[in-house]
Amino acid sequence: GESVGLHLPTLSVQEGDNSIINCAYSNSASDYFIWYKQESGKGPQFIIDIRSNMDKRQGQRVTVLLNKTVKHLSLQIAATQPGDSAVYFCAENPSWGGSNYKLTFGKGTLLTVNP
């Protein structure tokens, strides 16, 4: 079936380095993507989102890149800090703007930032 998945289950980086977390999706109808951060014992926290008519979007220290040709999504975190340590999920919705905004989540990548 169609799904969203992640290439790397774990990523360890040094404080101050840039981090790149990847996500592959298989639903070519996916129209909307969100990256979430989840800290231990907490709910998913919205980081950044992107529509399929864009290929890049920037936030504060974060950038999301979308490559529709290969159905790949990435999250770049600049100058990674210890507080960025968490599990990161990508999520997709096939048709934002309808009556249902159900999200399908990937498996998650654990980011560990070493001081």
Partner 1 sequence: EPEVTQTPSHQVTQMGQEVILRCVPISNHLYFYWYRQILGQKVEFLVSFYNNEISEKSEIFDDQFSVERPDGSNFTLKIRSTKLEDSAMYFCASTGRGPLGYGYTFGSGTRLTVV
Interface with partner 1 (CB under 8 A)? 32, 34, 36, 41-46, 49-51, 89, 91, 96-97, 99-108
Euclidean distance between CA atoms 42 and 57, whole angstroms = 26
CB 100, min distance to partner 1, A: 5
Euclidean distance between CA atoms 44 and 61, whole angstroms = 18
Q: Which is nearer to partner 1, 53 or 69 (CB)?
A: 53
Is residue 21 within 8 A of residue 28, CB to CB? The reply is: no
CB 25, min distance to partner 1, A: 13
Q: Which is nearer to partner 1, 41 or 115 (CB)?
A: 41
Amino acid residing at 108: G
- What are 17's two structure tokens? 């380095």
Q: Which is nearer to partner 1, 25 or 36 (CB)?
A: 36
What does R_g of the chain's alpha carbons equal in angstroms? 14
CB atoms within 10 A of CB 16: 11
CB 18, min distance to partner 1, A: 24
CB 107, min distance to partner 1, A: 5
